[in-house]
Structure 1
């Protein structure tokens, strides 16, 4: 039964976990950001024709190493997507000190996200789907929600569960849904995030759109020529104020906005109507004004369309544009994981009073006066962060994360 709330419910982040091209835990990701050291390089584990000609944000840990670390060597049906999800999930719940009984409680929700899911095994999927195999161990693992089911089974989760696929805004929407469940009394706790692994399915698709760069991407540079695909998993533990106790609080989920410009399957409306709406709604629902935002973790893919549209929206909302940058220049575009990855990197910015720059900027965008941050900033005042995640089909989501003052 839904609980009746006597006063507005605050939603706090009490645990975070991440594995990306920057490292296999939160600490290593932070170290790479401070050093302005990107994880975009030649892929070693991902097998594709394009690994010889394109850079990727590949995680250095192999599937075999992940199975060893996670004690899953004898467990069938774990794709790379599932393995990455378990790795980040375990770090997040350990960080929040969640017990097995708390995870299994009916008031604990799990909302995850993925665009590729088990289709990271593109060749095996082809063999199985066309009856060219005897049926592999992955027959039940190809759907976007298969990793969520693995988490449900492994950790005996009984509460509300869901898997979201809204393209590149997927895990931002998972965070938004988790916060809304808590605020509405439908849950007291939610583990939220997302995962995507590199896959021929997506690499070939993005290559067909001609938006993959042959060089490390450079979001918000005049001569940007595309994105780099990456892989990652990231999860956050959200808890209502009444559950927090003496736990460390990383940040508060203050606001969120979601919109859809319905402009084009793979491009945003040039007048930025969707981006503007999602950012405005996020700031208004946070109960703050635009001039209180200290930093924007931009969607910033490095494609001509995205960066121009996003900056159009930002300059429409902010009279004085706050510092902004794109951490995709470190991790690559991690698709369904991107919103959660960038929420965690935003939290690192808040907790360490740091702003991480956009990398590889050489030439300012000619139609805009505002430049992204291009060098690491320490001792920065970062009380409120706006984190943008804009997906194919025009699904735009913005989050406002705040320091607990």
Structure 2
């Protein structure tokens, strides 16, 4: 039986680090990236916390060597940095040596820049250049250009499950023989629009987020980008690549319940986990750690908890949400949590679910609250988005 699709490279930038190593150090030492807002001029600056990358757009542009008159959004710059890291980590010298694609995901796109200049586009030729970088696809093409990639390029935007679906599509393209190698992941920057939007939905916490806690108030938004390099078995053998881990299973479902809420019994979440098990050939008892979606909203944690109980019964493995570290990074969430899942496999660790105090009254689930060492061979990672789009990825030790 095939182990799955090989993962040969990873790259990440988030509020807890600008590299894979920095992110891992923060995870094992309990260093949260949730803080006050510095880079956005918003009325909520002093009353909401975010997972913000403490680099200005000018500093990010310098890291990429971009000219002063570039029209890169922050989303595109974060994505390009993470994708370049992943390619370097995979030891790729010639990006077009194999039939290679890029599948990127985003929900914000270039909005973080276009919203700044909305009122002065008619007056300013200088600022109109950002209109062209507004759409989600522009982000992906900018990343592809930075990589020098000439092959298949596409964009996925399914809200908070976006990167999981990008990873899933990449795996399917390799399995079907359409591509030999795919760079997959997601990127999203913080913006006024998303901060105001989640505040309007009344699911934004005024303090640090507390996933699976009975007294949870809501999420903290974050910004991040992460990409993985997926390669076919043939490509790995030809180049004698080191395999970091395998993507062994994946599943996507939609509970068709509500525009912004998950169904009360976690129907979509349960189905996506069930499908992932079927693809992988694994059973629930094989899973050693669940990296939960765990947004700390009243609806998600109840719905996801019920889905986990439906899938695992009374034998729920160790689980935690890493969003108290990074905030909820929307389309990038599944990608950064994929990196964290691979690191968990490589280092045999379960990350702590920070800020947890009180068990939810609806069920008897308690997340892992301190760093735990144990043998980990398989990790399940959940990501659920608006519109009912639910996705599950399974990662296995190489």
Q: How does 1:294-333 map to 2 (within 5 A)?
A: 294-319=288-313, 320-333=315-328
Q: Displacement of 1:105 after TM fit?
A: 4.7
Cα distance per residue 1:144-163 (max 9 Å; x no partner): 12111112223332221110
- The alpha carbon displacement at 1:250 in A equals 1.2
1:150 aligns with 2:142: yes
* Unpaired runs of at least 5, structure 2: none
What is residue 390 of structure 1 aligned with on the other side? 384
Are 2:163 and 1:163 aligned?
Answer: no
Q: CA deviation at 1:75?
A: 5.4
- Does the 8 Å contact 2:260/2:387 carry over to 1? yes
* Kept in 1: contact 2:3–2:246 (CA 8 A): no
- CA deviation profile, 1:167-213 (whole Å, cap 9, x unmatched): 00000000000000000100000000000000011111111101100
1:250 and 2:244 are equivalent in the alignment = yes
Runs ≥4 in structure 1, deviation > 2 angstroms? Answer: 7-10, 122-125, 130-137, 152-156, 245-248
Change (3 A) 1:373 1:241: same
Change (3 A) 1:75 1:238: farther
**Pairwise CA distance, 1:42:** 0.8
TM-score, normalised via structure 1 length: 0.94
The match for 2:18 is 24
DSSP-derived class of the 1:52 partner: coil
Separation in structure 2 between the aligned mates of residue 10 and residue 304 of structure 1, nearest angstrom: 35
Shift of 1:125: 4.8
SS at the partner of 1:360?
Answer: coil
Cα pair 1:104 1:155 within 8 Å, conserved = no
1:88 and 2:79 correspond = no
Q: How many residue pairs are counted as aligned between the two chains?
A: 394
- In 2, Cα distance between equivalents of 1:382 and 1:266: 34
Superposed, which structure 2 residues align to 1:342-353 within 5 Å? 342-353=337-348
Structure 1: runs of 5 or more not aligned: 1-6
SS at match of 2:18: coil
Could you list the per-position Cα deviations for residues 291-348 of structure 1 after superposition, in whole angstroms to 9, with x for gaps in the alignment?
0000000000000000000000000111300000001111000000001010001111
Given that residues 186 and 332 in structure 2 are in contact (C-alpha distance below 8 angstroms), is that contact kept between their aligned partners in structure 1? yes
- Write the distance in 1 (CA, Å) between the matches of 2:3 and 2:291: 25
Shift of 1:368: 1.1
Match of 1:137 in 2: 129
Asked if the contact 2:4/2:249 (under 8 Å) is kept, the reply is no
- Please report the RMSD computed on the Cα atoms of aligned residues, expressed in angstroms: 1.5
Corresponding position: 1:13 with 2:4: no
**Aligned residues of 1:43 and 1:51 also touching (Cα < 8 A):** yes
User: 2: CA distance between counterparts of 1:123 and 1:397?
Assistant: 30
Give distance in 2, aligned partners of 1:354 and 1:9: 21
Corresponding residue of 1:3 = none
Matched residue, 2:278: 284
The structure 1 residue matched to 2:64, chosen from 60, 70, 79, is 70
Q: Give the distance between the partners of 2:361 and 2:214, measured in 1 at CA.
A: 7
Q: Aligned match of 2:109 in 102, 106, 117?
A: 117
Q: Distance in 2 between matches of 1:47 and 1:250?
A: 40
